Structure 1
Amino acid sequence: MPPKRPPAKASVPAARNVSNKKQPVKPAANTANKKPGPPGRKAPPAKAAPKKEEKKGPSPQDLAAIVIQKYIRRFLSQCDLKKLKNRRIEYDEMIEKLQREAFVAMVKAEQGAAEREQAREDEERRRKREEAKRRGRMLEAAFDGDLEEMENILKEVSNLDTKNGVPNDEMGKVIRRNHMIAVTECQDANGNTPLSEAAAGGSSESIKFLVERGGDVNSVGAWGRTPLYRAAFGGHLDAVESLLQYGADPRIIAEDGNAPEHVSPVEAIIEVLKNWDVSMTDSLLEKMVVEREKRLEEDRMRKEAETNQLQDELNEIKKQYESEQRVLQKAYQELEKRIHEHDKCTTQGADSSITEITLQALHDAEGELEIAKLHADKARSKLEQARLRLREQQHEGGDEALPGVKCNIRELDEVLMRDVGNRITESGKWPMLIDPTGQATTFLRYRDTNYLCALNPQQMQPDVIRLALLGSIRFGKPMVMDMLEVDMFDTISDIFNEILPNLMQDIMSKEILQEEKYMQLVKPEDGEAYQKSKFQHHRAQKFIFVLVTKNKFPSDYLIDLTYAIRIVLPGD
């Protein structure tokens, strides 16, 4: 039995670096299957087996950190959500508060306007009552021959002119004189003037007083009777002689077929009237005609001067209004840009600091727009007042002076969409709705129309307009261009003409409805839906181009270019 081989001692390699860490123990080489080498020759060192990389999972500390981060993020998200909810609540409360304030302000404004209107009506009624009393006093004083009372009445009229700011220059003197004549030539319910009453009362001094202040000695009152007729009928010789000397015509016949000499009970009056030289009357009448024409010419010159002055004021106010309209248009466009920027940042998930900046810019643009609206409203109010004064000067005042055919909002479907009576078709023009209330815009947006807002930059892109126009022509439906409060027809025309030269002119002249015209709008990339075969001529003929404005007084150019329809609400 061979002796047992002693166990091999494990060699401990010299440690190069002293460390407290345990060194890994190398596994013993497997020598069982190795053949012994020749004596005296060292065995080659065993090759170390390659290390396998062990896949390590997250440590407990890592897992704990992940859990902590998760809950922290959840907490922060909940905090952000809470902040957003609080902001939303604050925003809703602010909007509600602003709406309440706006409603209160609107009610106060309406109350103020109603009070001012009521005060104006009360003042007008008071003025008319005073005028009626003044006429009655003048008629009675003329009949009674009370010169002092008549003088006091005329002084009241002069003082009233001074109170109302009537100047004392040449034009002012004309106005004052006309006011005096209006009193001396006033009439009672039967059409009798103070001079006729003075003749009936027999006061020659009153007759002289009134004639010197513009009284007409040949005025015709009740039953066609002149002052001379009434003086003769009353038997007042002095009055008859005074009237004849001032140009009273004894040849005028009353409705009963009698001349003044036929009705007088006094023989002396009959003799005076029979023997009166009518050539003197003709001469006096010619002088009266010349004097009357002179007054009419002075009135015409006064009115012309006032009209020119009002026209100059209107032109100046119109320039200010157009300037404010440009500012308002720019403010609208700036707001649309800011809304687009903020929406873009929000949808793209931009950082909160960026969205806060865009939101603040949006609020700033809203503030600028409100300021621009206030200035534009003031300018519009001034312009409307100037136009009103000019219309009143030209005897065109009142609601009927507003442009456009009056149309109740309830009848808009018949007037615009169905054109009952063919008024729009016969005019050969496209309709323009003058709608300060905005009701017509709401009506059209909920109908089958292609609606574009002229103040929305996104909708005013040439390609958007082109496709909207093509769609309206293809399906034969209205294309609505809403200009809101801004008069920007020229700007719209420039954009349309970018699509196709003279496009707006072709639309307004209706030449666009010719097939060779509207097919020029089609582009190859529009697809099969806009090919020639998809358009039907009978549908294209139903196309309507509608302009909408909130401006009560559009430019004269637009009024002439379109068939203006003025929208009114029920009860207006």
Structure 2
Amino acid sequence: MREVEPLLEHADVEHQSAKAILQDLEWNVKRANLKLRDLDNKLRRRNQKAGEEASLLEQVIWLRDLSDVVIKDVGGKRGEDGRWPLIFDPSGQSVTFFKYYSAAQFDCDQLAVLSISEDKEEKSRLLVSLLKHMKYGMPLMINLKNDLANLRMVEDAFNCIQKGFFNTFTDRSVLYSYLLPRRFMNLVTPELEKEYCEYMFDDEGLTKFVLGFIMTANEPDCEVMQTDCPPFYAIKVKDPDAPDPVDPVDEEPDEADDLDAEACGCRQVG
């Protein structure tokens, strides 16, 4: 029996190695499929006919649907797409919704201040929040206020964590190219190692994690959307205060029409 034990241990090691290789291959396939989506979208925009304005909104929803679409991803559309959600909500109620959903929230101005802070703890708040919410599979939302240009401040804040980090983290295949392979672990400083070691992050939590962006205004015009929004899964929240369309009121029969009908020997019914 003792002679067999080393063989069993070796077989177990090889089995685990084969599983890791298979998993990596599966991630590579999913990553490649998401890259193909990017290429398809670029070709679609390039081949768009002159004067044709195709909506770049992926979904138009009510406020009550935010949880199902953004967090739970009921139906799997957002997860299949791969991009992080960018929410256009002129009512601003999405900000309150996520606040009461226990999501971490930053606004663009706050991130700009934190990124240049000389206090080490303050400067690392975004990183710590990202790690915490990836660990527990919770959403982290960033309020862009009413200007899409504020994304530049957010990008700078991410890049203060690591050069090029914003592009890495908003890549369409980020789940399979960065999160699940645990490539973010090189961001964990010695001070954070006890709270965020590699084995504290499981695949389920990383898959549930959501980085979302909220703009408290309507979506910009098509040209701006085509330039700035392709990296994001654009969602429009309907304004709850907008009036419903009014059905046209049936007009009363015109008296002159009645006279014409009688003159022709016809009787109007009704």
TM-score w.r.t. the length of structure 2 is 0.59
Residue 408 of structure 1 deviates from its aligned partner by 0.5
Asked if the contact 2:63/2:237 (under 8 Å) is kept, the reply is: yes
Counterpart position of 2:85: 431
Question: What is the CA–CA distance in structure 2 between the aligned matches of 1:464 and 1:512, rounded to whole Å?
Answer: 21
Report the 3-state secondary structure (helix = DSSP H, G, I; strand = E; otherwise coil) of the residue aligned with 1:414.
helix
Deviation by residue 1:19-44 (Cα, 9 ceiling, x = unmatched): xxxxxxxxxxxxxxxxxxxxxxxxxx
Residues 1:503 and 2:165 are matched in the alignment: yes
Cα distance, 1:539–1:508 mapped onto 2, change above 3 Å:
same
Deviation at 1:527, TM superposition (A): 4.9
Aligned partners of 1:535 and 1:419: how far apart in 2? 21
Cross-structure match for 1:566: 236
1:132-172 Cα distance to aligned partner (Å, 9 max, x none): xxxxxxxxxxxxxxxxxxxxxxxxxxxxxxxxxxxxxxxxx
Provide the identity percentage: 24
Q: How far is 1:538 from its partner?
A: 2.1
1:462 and 1:495 in contact (8 A); partners too:
no
Q: Which amino acid aligns with 2:158?
A: F
Alignment-derived partner of residue 94 in structure 2: 440
Change (3 A) 1:436 1:498: same
| Greater fraction strand | 2
Q: Distance in 2 between matches of 1:459 and 1:445?
A: 20
The one of 180, 185, 195 equivalent to 1:529 is 195
- Cα distance in 1 for partners of 2:158, 2:209 equals 17
Q: Select 2:124's aligned residue among 460, 463, 477.
A: 463
Q: How does 1:309-320 map to 2 (within 5 A)?
A: none
Root mean square deviation, CA, Å:
2.4
Superposed, which structure 2 residues align to 1:66-85 within 5 Å?
none
Q: Which amino acid aligns with 2:198?
A: K
> SS where residue 529 of structure 1 aligns?
coil
SS across alignment from 1:563: strand
- CA deviation profile, 1:83-137 (whole Å, cap 9, x unmatched): xxxxxxxxxxxxxxxxxxxxxxxxxxxxxxxxxxxxxxxxxxxxxxxxxxxxxxx
Query: Equivalent residue for 1:473?
Result: 134
Name the CA shift for 1:401/1:501 in 2 (closer, same or farther; >3 Å).
closer
1:436-466: per-residue Cα shift (whole Å, max 9, x none)?
1111110011112121111124555541111
SS in 2 for 1:541: helix
Mapped partners of 2:181, 2:78: distance in 1: 22
- Using the size of structure 1 for normalisation, the TM-score is 0.29
Structure 2 residue 115 is the aligned partner of structure 1 residue 484: no
SS class of match (2:73): coil
Name the structure, 1 or 2, with higher relative contact order (CA <8 Å, separation 6+): 2
Deviation at 1:489, TM superposition (A): 1.4
Q: Which residue of 1 aligns with 2:4?
A: none
Instruction: Give, as a single letter, the amino acid of the residue that structure 2 aligns with 1:507.
Output: F
CA, structure 1 residues 395+500, in 2 after alignment: closer, same or farther (shift >3 Å)? closer
What's the secondary structure of 2:230's corresponding residue? helix
Cα distance in 2 between the residues matched to 1:402 and 1:552: 13
Count of residue pairs brought into register by the alignment = 177
Q: Give the gaps of 5 or more residues in structure 2.
A: 1-49, 116-121, 243-270
Helix, strand or coil at the partner of 2:131: helix
Superposition pairs of residues 237-248 of structure 1, within 5 angstroms? none
Q: Secondary structure at the match of 2:145?
A: coil
Q: Secondary structure at the match of 1:443?
A: helix
Name the SS for the 1:494 alignment partner. helix
